[in-house]
Amino acid sequence: MKKPKYKRILLKISGEAMKGKQEYGIDPEYISYLSKEIESAHKTGVQIAIVVGAGNIFRGVAGSKHGLDRATADYMGMLATIFNAMALQDALEKLNLVTRLQTAVEMKQIAEMFIRRKALRHLEKGRIVILGGGTGLPFITTDTTAAMRGLELGCEAIFKATKVDGVYDDDPVENLKAKKFTTLTLDYAFQNDKIKIMDKSALSLCHANNIHIIIFKLSQKGDFKKAIMGEKIGTTIC
């Protein structure tokens, strides 16, 4: 059987994705679809760590715009990522996949703490490691968490699942003539303010440490596995 291109990757799933067709919250149907996509990629033998966002439940930045203290709002967002992480773990386990949930904030009754070496051991054993609670620190996005954890865990690439199928030179929703990049350099992505696919601190971490980012659309069935096998899917920033 053909080997996957990567040994270990980090998958970043936005909270927005978790709401599927719903306006808000977690769409069980979509989570079940996501889990099958992850299962299919995992079967190739690649080790998978997952960071989930929380935009479907609560966004720290939005909360602070409505008068909440920013740090408090960010902590609320961290808790929301743990909601998503638990739902994803449940859906993956329904497919008989072995998973471990680790959180950056301690909540012993619910999950184990993020301990880098333990996470590495889980990955080596083929367990899918879901990382909830961001980094445990406010003022940091889940994209930056994904970059940090990806680096810490020795991942070869960060797969960022988005609503669009790659990076465009303009907003593809507003500008139908926007062109999709198949590859981009980290330098270009970092310096060009029009590239808003990841926040600057996440890009800066990837840039400084030369880790690849693959932007793709998880709702395009089979694409995640294809990208793991080395097919050109979405946009690769390298």
Interacting residue with ligand GTP among 61, 62, 71, 110 (CB under 6 A) = 110
Looking at the Cβ atoms of 116 and 125, the one nearer to ligand GTP is 125
- List CB contacts of 160: < 8 A, sequence separation 6 or more: 12, 143, 146, 197, 198, 213, 214, 215, 216
- Select from 68-76, 108-116, 135-143, 167-175 the region that touches ligand GTP (CB under 6 A): 108-116
Question: Of the ranges 109-117, 134-142, 154-162, 171-179, which one interacts with ligand GTP (CB under 6 A)?
Answer: 109-117
Q: Name 158's Cβ contacts closer than 8 Å, sequence gap at least 6.
A: 9, 10, 11, 12, 146, 147, 150, 206, 211, 212, 213, 214
Which residues have C-beta within 8 Å of that of residue 25, sequence separation ≥ 6? 19, 56, 57
To ligand GTP, the closest distance from the beta carbon of 87 in angstroms equals 16
The CA distance from 97 to 108, in Å, is 22
Residue 78: CB minimum distance to ligand GTP, A:
17
Shortest Å, Cβ 117 to ligand GTP: 10
Q: CA 237 to CA 234: how far, in whole Å?
A: 10
Among 8, 19, 42, 100, binds ligand GTP (CB under 6 A): 100
Nearer to ligand GTP among residue 66 and residue 108 (C-beta): 108
Backbone φ and ψ of 12, nearest 5°: -105, 120
Single out the residue of 111, 123, 195, 206 in contact with ligand GTP (rule: CB under 6 A): 111
How many residues of this chain interact with ligand GTP, rule: CB under 6 A? 8
Strand (E) or helix (H) holding 148: helix 142-152
Q: Contacts with ligand GTP in 6-45 (CB under 6 A)? A: none
Bridge-partner residues for 100, per DSSP?
Answer: 129
User: Nearest distance from residue 6's CB to ligand GTP, in Å?
Assistant: 22
Q: At what angle do helices 70-94 and 28-42 cross, to 10 degrees?
A: 70
Choice between 83 and 159, CB closer to ligand GTP: 83
Site for ligand GTP in 116-145 (CB under 6 A): 121, 125
Nearest residue to 31 (alpha-carbon basis) of 110, 90, 77? 90
Residues that bind ligand GTP (CB under 6 A): 100, 108-112, 121, 125
